[in-house]
Amino acid sequence: MNSSLDAHLTENVNEDSTDAPLPEDSTKSKRAIYIGWLVIIFFLVGVVGYATLNQPAPTSAQKAHSLETQIKCPSCEGLSVADSTSPIAINIRALVLKMIKENKSNSQIMLYLESKYGPSISLSPTGSTVASFTWYIPIFSVVAAFLLIISVAFWRSSLKLKMRVKWLKHRKRLERSSRLRIKIIGLTFIGIGLLYFILSFVGVKLPFNDVGKSTVSTEQMISNARTLANLGQEQAALVIYTQIIQDDPQNATAYAERGWLITQAGAQAHDEKVINEGVDDLNKAILIDPQLSEAHLFLGTVIYQDNHKPSAAIKEYSIFLKYNTNEDLLNASKNEILSCYKAAGITPPHIP
Amino acid sequence: MSLTVLVIAISLIAILASRPQINNVTVSSPLLGNQAPNISGLSLFSNKSISLNSFKGKYVVINFFASWCSPCHVEEPELVAFNFEHYSQKNVAMLGITFDDTASNATGFLRSNGATWPAIEDRSGSIAISYGVSEPPETFLISPEGIVLAKLIGPVTQKGLDSLISKSASKN
């Protein structure tokens, strides 16, 4: 292969031996353009690579939220289940999170929902292979554009090689091998970037991929869990709180609200062990955030109602009253707190 | 004057004629013609375990309902009449599934309407999702072999359900 190329180059030297050599300035200018192209390509590849490597791996909650935005709310007009508060949307959200927790892929979840509601349940074409291909055309186009720029650059350099071969034959070989190295390095960067993107997309956990967790999504999950708990679907709410805690072990609100649900379930079943599990969660919440008023309210209520220790409960209630800013919570718990103070034989503070 | 009355009368007739049919609206579903997803749970009335499989050999009318749903109140007397009609024949079974409702409210709703068929509380909504239910009332007709024959949205009538069963029976 190399010997035939050498023969071709030698032939070109002989054929072009009568041509006038190119001016030195022109060669330098072309070399500058060539180097400029390489700098641009490396800069772009670097930017894409950096952006790809710094893309955080989605948490289960984020994955669920992302998928929820692609699922149409069956009982709404033009809304995704992520944006809807209808009962079926809330149930689908809980189901999506549960299936993600069971390591089901996005396409498996979409296929399941499509098998029940039909293809109209999907707001994006994730369910169909052909449609998915169309969806990713822009990404493929960008990659193709990079490859095209590189190809053009090398094609132009090969033209230059032909023109300069008359008096730079030995240097050309060196440059060619250097360009080949550049080409290999450039394509390797692009390949790594693409591989990283594909692996991230299919959900493989990768290094440098677990930074920048979104608090918005966690807030959304807490809101979902509260809605479910208010609808009497405590089990689904507990699944969500547990997921939030797995994703963010420092989330005091999730610990507090999960603890409250568990203590309530334990109280209903008259199971002291379950109540204690809930109390553990409440204590963890207070340990993480000692000023989290709702955790003190829940703990105070458990101590007063389940442990029948009003004096001990007052300590928690007083911290709740000190830090609470939620008027609804205060109104809902006011009578309970006053009753506790009365049971302890202590004059209650003024509660607005 | 008489012309005005005539115009109004024609307009009213046109409006009434163009109103959509609200009863027995059958819709397409990916479940049609397929084996019905299994349902199991505790009966709201007896607290005994119920499974859809235990009704094999009978037509089964599965009704997703809620006590807070107005169209459910409209259709309930029709379902009660339909159940009464087939009660002695024992060829049809009925199964209620709650939709976003508490057990006590759903039980109260069924009792106040004279419904005696078994009903299951679907707390997580998983049964509703497995049947592709969007909002109540939705009703499914299942063949004696366990195949989904029809999906109806909105209130159903006794006559409409009878017609669906007759159609299915005549095909067999």
Of B10-14, B38-42, B126-130, B140-144, least confident by mean pLDDT is B10-14
Between chains, do A88 and B131 touch, taking CB under 8 Å as contact?
no
Residues 6+ apart with CB under 8 A from A117: A74, B30, B132, B134
Q: What is the pLDDT of residue A214?
A: 41
Cβ distance B36 to B69 under 8 Å?
no
The answer on pLDDT for A54 being more than 80 is: no
Q: What is the pLDDT of residue A17?
A: 46
Q: Does A115 touch chain B (CB under 8 A)?
A: yes
The answer on pLDDT for A125 being more than 60 is: no
| Residue A137 banded pLDDT, cuts 50, 70, 90 | low
ipTM of this complex: 0.82
Cβ distance B76 to B113 under 8 Å?
yes
Q: Does B124 touch chain A (CB under 8 A)?
A: yes
How close does chain A come to B6, measured CA to CA in Å?
38
Higher pLDDT, A300 or B90: A300
Q: What is the pLDDT of residue B78?
A: 92
Higher pLDDT, A321 or A167: A321
Residue type for B12, please? L
Between chains, do B129 and A95 touch, taking CB under 8 Å as contact?
yes
Q: Does B77 touch chain A (CB under 8 A)?
A: no
Of A127-136, A303-312, B19-28, least confident by mean pLDDT is A127-136
Residue spans per domain, chain A: 2-55+137-201, 71-123, 215-344
Q: What is the pLDDT of residue A209?
A: 52
The answer on pLDDT for B60 being more than 90 is: yes
| Residue B138 banded pLDDT, cuts 50, 70, 90 | very high
Q: What is the pLDDT of residue A5?
A: 47
What Cα–Cα distance (Å) separates residue B143 from each residue in A208, B27, B59, B170?
A: 55, 17, 5, 13
Question: Best interface-test mutation with B: which of A86, A88, A227 has the largest number of B CBs within 10 A?
Answer: A88
Q: Taking CB atoms and an 8 Å cutoff, what residues of chain B touch A117?
A: 30, 132, 134
Proportion of chain A above pLDDT 70, given as a percent: 78
- What phi and psi, each to the nearest 5 degrees, are found at residue B60? -120, 130
Q: Does B132 touch chain A (CB under 8 A)?
A: yes
Proportion of chain B above pLDDT 70, given as a percent: 87
How close does chain B come to A57, measured CA to CA in Å?
29
What pLDDT digit, counting tens, does each position of A210-222 carry?
Answer: 443 444 477 877 8
**What residues does B140 pair with on adjacent strands?**
B62, B151
Tokens representing A130? 């052909």
CATH architecture designation of domain B24-171? 3-Layer(aba) Sandwich (3.40)
Q: Does B35 touch chain A (CB under 8 A)?
A: no
Q: Does A149 touch chain B (CB under 8 A)?
A: no
The answer on pLDDT for B79 being more than 90 is: yes
How close does chain B come to A236, measured CA to CA in Å?
7
Q: What is the pLDDT of residue B13?
A: 53
The answer on pLDDT for A13 being more than 50 is: no
Q: Which residue of B has its CA nearest to A237?
A: B124
What pLDDT digit, counting tens, does each position of B90-110 carry?
Answer: 889 999 999 999 999 999 999
Domain range A215-344, its CATH number among 1.20.1050.10, 3.30.930.10, 3.80.30.20, 1.25.40.10: 1.25.40.10
Tokens representing A19? 């041509």
Q: What is the pLDDT of residue B51?
A: 93
Q: What is the pLDDT of residue A62?
A: 83
How close does chain A come to B145, measured CA to CA in Å?
20
- What phi and psi, each to the nearest 5 degrees, are found at residue B43? -70, 135
What pLDDT digit, counting tens, does each position of A103-122 carry?
Answer: 889 989 999 999 999 988 98
Q: What is the pLDDT of residue B150?
A: 95
Q: What is the pLDDT of residue A203?
A: 55
Q: Does B36 touch chain A (CB under 8 A)?
A: no
Calculate the CA A351 to chain-centre distance.
43
Calculate the CA A134 to chain-centre distance.
23
DSSP string, A214-270: -HHHHHHHHHHHHHHHHTT-HHHHHHHHHHHHHH-TT-HHHHHHHHHHHHHHHHHHT
Proportion of chain B above pLDDT 90, given as a percent: 67
Reply yes or no: is the peptide bond before residue A87 cis, omega within 30 of 0.
no
Nearest CB among A114, A115, A232 relative to B123 is that of A232
Q: Taking CB atoms and an 8 Å cutoff, what residues of chain B touch A92?
A: 125, 129
- Residue A19 is given by DSSP the state S
Alpha carbon distance B125, B131 (integer Å): 10
Between chains, do B135 and A236 touch, taking CB under 8 Å as contact?
no
The answer on pLDDT for B28 being more than 60 is: yes
Between chains, do B135 and A95 touch, taking CB under 8 Å as contact?
no
Q: Does A282 touch chain B (CB under 8 A)?
A: no
Q: What is the pLDDT of residue B19?
A: 43
Taking each continuous run of H as one helix and of E as one strand, the counts in chain B are 5, 8
